[in-house]
Structure 1
Amino acid sequence: MGTATGSGFDTETLRQAVEGPREETLVSLYADDAEIRIVDRNTQPSHPMVLHGHDEIAAMYHELCSREMTHKMEQIVAQGDRVAFSESCVYPDGVHVLAESMLSLRDGKIVEHTMVQAWDE
C-alpha cells in the first residue's frame, strides 16, 4: 500500500511508474511548471542538466522509458511536501545505474526534482 503525503501525493503510484516504467504516469506526476535538475559525471553540480516544464520532462521520460533496462525503487521516504527515493537500474549488458532523488511537491504534484546519478564506468 502506498503512502499519501500531506499534499496528496501517492508514493505507490510513483513506485509503479518508475518500475514499470510507465511514461505517461511518470509525466502526470509533475506540475506544468516543474523543473528537474540532474547531476552526474557529465553534468556536474556547477552545471547540472536542467529541464523546465511539461514538454522537456515528457521528452526525457519518453527517451528513458524507451531504453531496454530494469528499474527498481530501492527506498522511499515521504514527509509532508517532500519525497526522497533511491532507484537502481540495470541494462541488459550488466551496466548498473544508481539514482538518488529529492522531490518537492505542491498540490500533490512534483514541482522540483533533483537527481544525482552514478553509472558503472
Structure 2
Amino acid sequence: MGTATGSSFDTETLRRGVEGTTGNTLLSLYADDAQIRIIDRNTQPSHPKVLRGRGEIAAMLDDVYSRDMTHKLDRCVVQGDHAAYCESCEYGDGTRVLAESMITLRDGKIAEQILIQAWDE
C-alpha cells in the first residue's frame, strides 16, 4: 500500500477491482471528477479517447466487465501521489490484451489516468 497526498491508495482494492467480475470495486477508487485518456490502435496519442467523470468511467467499466474475459493485476508501484500498474487480460477465445496505466492520485483516489493498451489481432 502506498501513500498519496496524505491519504493511502489501497493497492489490494485495486487488485480486487481489476480481477473482479464487475467494475464496481474498481470504480470506487476514482475521484468524482477523474479523467482517463485511453491510447490504443484505434485512439492514437494525437487523438486519445478521453473519459471524464465517474459516469463515463462507469459506462466503460460496465462494458469491459460484461465481456467474456479475465483480468489480472500483474504489478503495481506507488510512489507519492503517482502509481503505475500493469494489467493482463484474456478473452474466452484466447485473445490477449495488455494494458499499462500511469495514474495521478488525489486524497487516495485516482484523479487522472493514462491507459495504453494493445491486444492480439
> What is the TM-score with the length of structure 1 in the denominator?
0.94
Deviations, residues 20-55 of structure 1 (Å, cap 9, x unaligned): 134111111111110000000000000000000111
Q: Which amino acid aligns with 2:42?
A: N
1:40 maps to 40
What is the alpha-carbon root mean square deviation over aligned residues? 0.9
Task: Quote the offset at 1:118 in angstroms.
Answer: 0.3
Aligned to 2:90: 90
Matches within 5 A, 1:18-97: 18-97=18-97
Per the alignment, residue 105 of structure 2 pairs with: 105
* Residues 16 and 22, structure 1, Cα contact 8 Å, conserved in 2: no
Percent of aligned positions with the same letter in both sequences? 64
How far 1:81 moved relative to its partner?
0.8
| Pairs aligned (count) | 119
CA shift digits 1:52-90 (9 cap, x unpaired): 011101100111111110101111101111110000000
Q: Which structure has more strand as a fraction of its residues?
A: 2
Paired AA for residue 5 in structure 1:
T
Give 5+ residue unaligned stretches, structure 1.
none
State the shift of 1:107 in Å: 0.6
For residue 17 of structure 1, report the CA deviation from its aligned partner.
0.5
Structure 2 length normalisation: TM-score? Answer: 0.94
Cα distance between partner residues in 1 of 2:76 and 2:30: 17
Gaps of 5+ in 2: none
